[in-house]
Amino acid sequence: VIIHPLYNALEKQQLVVLSASLSSKERISRDKTAALMLARAMDTLHIPSGLRLDDLLSATFNSEDDKREEDVLDVAIAYLRRVHLFSFYNACGAQREGDVMSGLYPTGPIHLRLKDADKILEKMEGEAGGGAPTG
């Protein structure tokens, strides 16, 4: 059996689930703004016009109504990782694509948001405050 080298690289990809506070709707909004600003700045330095994140977002989403904040954040984070070899949540870059794909460097992990993060945070606040948990 011959296994494609890309399969080996994908097999090594580490998945990291973000904490509830990093997965909250409030944080998604702030992170989206930061990821867009970072990608646009990097694009200006390294990527030709027509091939930038904003071009990708225009091609991916048909209208402004089509864009959910978390979808835009996901595209921006994936773009930073694959195009600029930069890990948004680890705040570091890599020199080579192999460093990102190998799973051996801080740029390697793929970050996933925690499901129902806002409900978890509400429950934690309720328990910390001594009141009955909500939700």
The C-alpha angle 68, 70, 75, rounded to 5 degrees, equals 100
Q: Give the Cα separation of 105 and 25 in Å (integer).
A: 28
Q: Report pLDDT for 132.
A: 52
Q: How confident is the model at residue 9 (pLDDT cuts 50, 70, 90)?
A: low
Residue percentage of the chain with pLDDT more than 90: 59
Task: Please report which helix (H) or strand (E) contains residue 104, including its range.
Answer: none
Token pair belonging to 58: 């225009």
Q: Report pLDDT for 62.
A: 81
Lowest-confidence region among 27-36, 38-47, 109-118: 109-118
Answer whether 61's CB lies under 8 Å from 67's CB: yes
Q: Give the Cα separation of 42 and 117 in Å (integer).
A: 30
